[in-house]
Amino acid sequence: MLEPAATKIGMPMEEFIRLYDTEGPFEFIDGERKPIMPQVAGHGEVSLTVYHGLYAVTAANHLGVVLHEQTFVLSYTSNWVTGSRQPDVMFYTAERINAYKEANPDWKLKPYVLVPDLVVEVMSPNDDPDELDEKIDLYLADGVRMAWVMNPQRIKVSVYIPTPNTPRTKQQTNLFSGDTLTGGDLLTGFEMPVAKIFE
């Protein structure tokens, strides 16, 4: 008896871009389109505060590129998109983003087909904490080196990094109002008081 053919998860890049433009922003996870819901004003304020803080340091020190509410695609082979994510803020090191642009002369015509080094997610009042935790797991499994979750309700920042040599596990550090968020080895020179993020 023949086994049924496996369903190929994904869609052509042209369809991905068309659907994004005509039906609104979405993430593409495990073959399912998940619409990105409009956010409350406080969400946007926090994400912009973090974006501007990161931009100031990265631009001054030529560390890389910071993007706000941009989509990245997990893989793209022969015009086939297998998944996508849209963090509130993301960062690419200069070395990686420059190599990507050099290898992809048409990079401006499609979403970034490159997993970021850092992602930032801002928690909204209607967000499910378990779903957000699962999203962080996916980011780290994708190859993200560091993830920050901003929780305005608790004036709290959670910093996640993958546990070395231990698949699908992560280290978590929680920072509160009197603490300072830093970029560690990834973003040398970046420092922002947690209280300032949520002003």
Query: pLDDT category, 23, cuts 50, 70, 90?
Result: confident
Q: Which residues contact 95 (CB under 8 A, 6 or more apart)?
A: 64
The arrangement of strands across the sheet holding 64-68 comes to: 64-68, 89-93, 118-122, 146-151, 156-162, 170-175
Please give the mean pLDDT across all residues of the chain: 88
CATH no. for 11-197: 3.90.1570.10
Residue 18 in this model has a pLDDT that exceeds 60: yes
Q: Give percent of the chain above pLDDT 70.
A: 91
**Is it the case that residue 5 has pLDDT exceeding 70?**
no
Q: What is the pLDDT of residues 25-64, one digit of tens each?
A: 777 877 788 877 767 788 889 999 999 999 999 999 999 9
pTM, to two decimals: 0.86
Cα distance between residue 56 and residue 16, in whole Å: 32
| Domain definitions of the chain by residue range | 11-197
Per residue in 101-141, pLDDT (tens digit) is: 999 999 998 899 999 999 999 998 888 889 899 999 989 98
Sheet strand arrangement including 80-81: 11-12, 80-81, 76-77
Taking residues 3-10, report their average pLDDT. 52
User: Which phi and psi (to 5°) does residue 140 adopt?
Assistant: -65, -35
CB 92 within 8 A of CB 114: yes
